[in-house]
Structure 1
Amino acid sequence: MNADATTRAPRRDVQRNRAKIIDAARAAFAQNGLEAPLDAIAKAAGVGAGTLYRHFPTREDLVAAVLEEHRPDLAREAQRITHQDHDPQRALDEWLDAIAGWMRAYEGLPAPLRAALDATGTPLGTTCERVIETTSSFLAPVQEAGQARSEITGRDLFLSVLATTWATAAQPSNPEPRLGRMLRHGWLTTEPHL
């Protein structure tokens, strides 16, 4: 096999099938949550189950690909927050609200995100680590200003938002902003004005 054959881009039909599967999964997850049947996703994409599994051997791989489609929006939100002129604590609050929205994108998402945190090298784990890195970058100036406890990490905040998202999905009558404000008492060094 020559070098050109090993570095060749995927065929267009392969790329097209992958995109159709991701689009069908996004729609199915939005309508039925992450437990949407994979066979139904394949059918909606116009491909066979074998094609779906060649592209995405596990449900987690498919979830990661769908969430990766959301990453540019999340990155734009991080940029927007970064470029606004406000204090670091407010920027961190806005970022935590943004990732809460990302975590609420599909019913059932908090559980696989939590599992992915313990699985290194998985596509979903990598996605989570990117979000945690951004969270850490928003946390650092708050800590430098003495407004957040020094032992708190970006991962801690990611987990607290994940827990809040899970709790509000289980109990929709408990508004998330109130839970989020309550959790912030744990990482702030001073009492926030609620």
Structure 2
Amino acid sequence: MTQARAPRADAVRNRKKILDAAREQISLHGPEAGMDEIAAAAGVAVGTLYRHFPNKTDLVAAVIAEYLDGVAAGAEAAVERVAAGAPALDEITHFLQHVMEASAADRAVKAAALVLSADPADKAPVERAANALTSLIQTGQADGDIHPDVTIDDMYLLFSTAPTDQPASARARWLTLFLSGLTTHGRSAGN
């Protein structure tokens, strides 16, 4: 059995440059951002872009996959910090802030993904993030800081309703209000 060769270093660099340029161009121009403009912003030939991504849907799906992998890595890092002694509530709060700000920054990319029906094939990052968040919630509940009825579905509700189109001050206020419902400090049992 032959092993697959690792991608060449220049191919890895080009892919990264293309993904960064796609995120930037789509944020600036929306789903209409052209492949030629993305290639130019990345500093690569259009043929190089198409070798990595045959069409814009594949490119946007890769940008979303990269974002989801970052979310999963952030959640897993929070779990590691909790295992090392950090309070789960603090880690959940920081994680939620980070995801909300990243979502605000990538709002145009997500809109493009909807328009193009770009859906990453690899669902592993979503599962990794869910497992890590579930662990954080359970630890926060065991610490007495997270309300006993909070579930991962509540986190998904947060992500789906976050005011990512609002200014940072509004997002911060929204997170404060959300956290008061999440924690035992913000409401009594049964409320």
TM-score (normalizing by structure 2): 0.67
Answer yes or no: is 1:97 the counterpart of 2:93. no
Aligned to 1:122: 121
- Structure 2: stretches of 5+ with no match in the other structure: none
Corresponding residue to 1:180 among 163, 166, 175: 175
Equivalents in 2 of 1:175, 1:44: separation in Å? 32
1:179 CA displacement: 0.9
Aligned to 2:82: 82
Per-residue CA deviations over 1:32-61 (Å, capped at 9, x if unaligned) read 456633332133332325324248752442
1:106 CA displacement: 1.9
Equivalents in 1 of 2:21, 2:168: separation in Å? 31
Equivalents in 1 of 2:71, 2:78: separation in Å? 10
1:134 CA displacement: 2.4
Equivalents in 1 of 2:111, 2:56: separation in Å? 19
Does the 8 Å contact 2:75/2:129 carry over to 1? no
TM-score (normalizing by structure 1): 0.66
**For residue 179 of structure 1, what is the amino acid of its counterpart?**
W
1:38/1:140 CA distance change after superposition, 3 Å: farther
1:62 CA displacement: 2.5
Between the aligned residues of both structures, percent identity stands at 24
Number of equivalenced pairs: 181
Relative contact order, higher structure (CA 8 A, sep 6+):
2
1:87 CA displacement: 3.5
Per-residue CA deviations over 1:98-157 (Å, capped at 9, x if unaligned) read 222232232335557999xxx7x723x443333333222221111123433334222421
Larger CA deviation: 37-46 vs 7-16: 7-16
Aligned to 2:148: 150
Equivalents in 1 of 2:82, 2:32: separation in Å? 35
**For residue 21 of structure 2, what is the amino acid of its counterpart?**
A
Corresponding residue to 2:33 among 23, 36, 44: 36
**For residue 64 of structure 2, what is the amino acid of its counterpart?**
A
Equivalents in 2 of 1:134, 1:35: separation in Å? 35
Does the 8 Å contact 2:72/2:129 carry over to 1? no
Equivalents in 2 of 1:67, 1:155: separation in Å? 20
Corresponding residue SS for 1:7:
coil
Root-mean-square deviation (CA, aligned residues, Å) is: 3.9
